[in-house]
């Protein structure tokens, strides 16, 4: 199971990112756990200065905007 965290204050881009990850996992048949992190101290603790940020299995893999669909699908394959 892959563990994702979407880091952000709950803005539209953060919500779009979370939904896109959920949809890509469903389409790929990959089990995921998705957590939305809105606490700024925790977000900054990951070193993310621009949201939304995405953490996969404890490692920051994206920050600063909505990731492209192809990029999200690649996270399901890796």
Q: Which residues contact 64 (CB under 8 A, 6 or more apart)?
A: 50, 51, 53
Residue 78: pLDDT band with limits 50, 70, 90: confident
Active site residues: 11, 14
Domain residues for the domain of 56 are 2-77
CATH number assigned to the domain comprising residue 57? 3.40.30.10
Share of the chain above pLDDT 70, in %: 100
Number of domains the chain is built from: 1
Angle, CA of 54, 69 and 37, to the nearest 5°: 20
Residue 10: pLDDT band with limits 50, 70, 90: confident
pTM: 0.95
CA distance to 25, 30, 44, 51, 62, per residue, from 48 (Å): 23, 26, 5, 7, 9
Main-chain phi, psi angles of 3, to 5 degrees: -110, 120
């Amino acid at each position: 199971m892959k563990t994702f965290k979407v880091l952000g204050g709950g803005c539209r881009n953060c919500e779009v990112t979370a939904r896109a990850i959920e949809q890509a996992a469903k389409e790929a048949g990959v089990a995921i756990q998705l957590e939305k992190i809105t606490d700024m101290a925790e977000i900054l603790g990951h070193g993310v200065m621009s949201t939304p940020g995405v953490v996969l299995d404890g490692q920051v893999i994206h920050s600063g905007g909505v990731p492209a669909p192809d990029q999200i699908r690649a996270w399901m394959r890796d």
